[in-house]
Amino acid sequence: MKPAPEIDIGRLQKEIAELALISESPPPVVTRVLFSEADLKARARVKDICRQARLAVREDAVGNIFARWEGTDKAAAAIATGSHIDAIPNAGQYDGVVGVLGGIEAVRALQRAGFQPRRAIELIVFTAEEPTRFGLGCLGSRLLAGTLPPEKTAALRDAEGRDLDFWRRQAGLGGSLDSVRLNAGAYAGFLELHIEQGPVLERENIAIGIVEKIAAPSSLRLRLTGVGGHAGTVLMPERRDALLAGAEIALAVEKAAVSSGSPDTVGTAGVFRVEPGAVNSVPSRAVLEIDVRDTNPATLNAALAQIEAAAAQICQKRGIGLELERINVDAPAMCDARLVELAVRVCADLGVSSRNMISRAYHDALFMARICPIAMLFIPCRGGVSHRPDEYAGPEQIQKGVLVLAEALRRLAE
């Protein structure tokens, strides 16, 4: 085996800390909502760091950033890595950033080692992995993979009613969004480094989690319309109570998830709004929003179908009007067996502990899986905490993650 690439963890940590200061909130809080002033500044900083590493930087029409280290074989598809730098309000400094700045450091480490890639290596910074602005996550990677129809993209609005074109102009981005889509085979593979955002690796004292499957979220919105009335005068047999129908539906969600046959099915009725919301008034309307996730498309679809059938039946029984909307149903992704195997081997060769695992949060890799083979590398984060200012990954943990990424990229690009 060739000598392992050497990671400059001091420099990388400094870059992570400096990027965290580019925020809409005072430190240690990181907030970078898509195309806000802070997001644009952070994007400019990352592009600078890429240029300093002599990478060729380009941006597509939705602002996905590509930084390319050209290979000697121009005809070979590139190998890609990367993640995101946008951050939800009140977030920390590692989510996404470890995969972006760590990806750049992996490239620099290979450059310092004198490596010359045969395949190009591309770092991708995806636009809006977080759903904060438009209520839809992975905007950039969905468009790259062609899974977001143009009419759905055009209908996106933020809380102030501004659309994506308004924000693209703010960011100085032109061109047709149709041009963002990449063909299958555009990349030979995509490997995303990310903090785990869960407790498993820390608990088991393991350096690297190699993701085999990514669970996908589906969300449903149900609007229930019953008949309101005075809580004293409308007698029980006469009632068409929207809340009671909603309560039965919430229980049906639990039942569908528990009985799906897959241990990875989870169902949550996280939103339950009731109108008019007075103690002495029979609830006339209710809105439920339901999140269902799974790693297996068959059990996911069966659970969704079961919930929808139960909702229809409950509403019919109770004389409640039902409007059901599937907000999004994304397919779970399987990681590529060969990339997973390669990551396992790299960890073993480097003497870094690893285990295979499932990603229960979704990432840009979920959508990249539609156009190329993917895998993900997780590193532990303290307490499994993420999306909070106290999110933390230690230097040794980051160093190991970037080392494994660098060595994997080397083997894939040589």
Among 5, 96, 117, 389, binds Zn ion (CB under 5 A): 96
Q: Residue 113 class from Cβ within 10 Å (0-12 exposed, 13-18 middle, 19+ buried)?
A: middle
Q: Greatest CA span in the chain, whole angstroms?
A: 83
Closer to Zn ion by Cβ: residue 16 or 120: 16
Cα separation, 186 vs 182, in Å, equals 6
Residue 185, CA distances (Å) to 60, 154, 253 in order: 18, 27, 38
Cα-based torsion angle of the residue sequence 356, 130, 12, 344 in order, rounded to the nearest 10 degrees: 10
Least distance in angstroms from the C-beta of 42 to Zn ion: 14
Least distance in angstroms from the C-beta of 75 to Zn ion: 33
Closer to Zn ion by Cβ: residue 376 or 406: 376
Stretch of 35-43, 96-104, 250-258, 369-377 lying at the interface with Zn ion (CB under 5 A): 96-104
Closer to Zn ion by Cβ: residue 95 or 391: 95
Least distance in angstroms from the C-beta of 363 to Zn ion: 6
Q: What letter represents residue 99's amino acid?
A: G
Stretch of 55-63, 93-101, 238-246, 366-374 lying at the interface with Zn ion (CB under 5 A): 93-101
Q: Which residue has the tokens 């080692």?
A: 113
Closer to Zn ion by Cβ: residue 12 or 87: 87
For residue 56, how many other CB atoms are within 10 A of its CB? 13
Closer to Zn ion by Cβ: residue 250 or 368: 368
Least distance in angstroms from the C-beta of 364 to Zn ion: 8
Helix (H, G, I), strand (E, B) or coil at 283: coil
Applying CB under 5 A, what is the total number of residues that bind Zn ion? 2
Least distance in angstroms from the C-beta of 83 to Zn ion: 6
Which residue minimizes CB distance to Zn ion? 96
Least distance in angstroms from the C-beta of 130 to Zn ion: 7
Stretch of 24-32, 94-102, 218-226, 327-335 lying at the interface with Zn ion (CB under 5 A): 94-102
Stretch of 33-41, 89-97, 144-152, 272-280 lying at the interface with Zn ion (CB under 5 A): 89-97
Least distance in angstroms from the C-beta of 207 to Zn ion: 19
Cα separation, 160 vs 397, in Å, equals 40
Q: What letter represents residue 66's amino acid?
A: F
Closer to Zn ion by Cβ: residue 194 or 400: 194
Least distance in angstroms from the C-beta of 226 to Zn ion: 40
Closer to Zn ion by Cβ: residue 96 or 226: 96
Among 15, 60, 95, 192, binds Zn ion (CB under 5 A): 95
Least distance in angstroms from the C-beta of 386 to Zn ion: 8
Least distance in angstroms from the C-beta of 387 to Zn ion: 9
- Could you say whether residue 294 binds Zn ion (CB under 5 A)? no
Which helix (H) or strand (E) segment holds residue 56: the answer is strand 56-59
Stretch of 39-47, 71-79, 90-98, 139-147 lying at the interface with Zn ion (CB under 5 A): 90-98
Cβ atoms 67, 104 nearer than 8 A? yes
Closer to Zn ion by Cβ: residue 96 or 102: 96
CB environment 229-240: b (16+ within 10 A), e (fewer): beeeebeeeebb
Closer to Zn ion by Cβ: residue 10 or 135: 135
Q: Both tokens of residue 134?
A: 């438009």
Q: Which residue has the tokens 């899986």?
A: 369
CA 378 to chain centroid: 13
- Which residue, 69, 350, 392, is CA-closest to 210? 350
DSSP assignment string, 97-133: HHHHHHHHHHHHHHHHTT---SS-EEEEEES--S-TT
* Per-residue DSSP letter, 304: H
Query: Which residues would be at the binding site for Zn ion (CB under 5 A)?
Result: 95-96
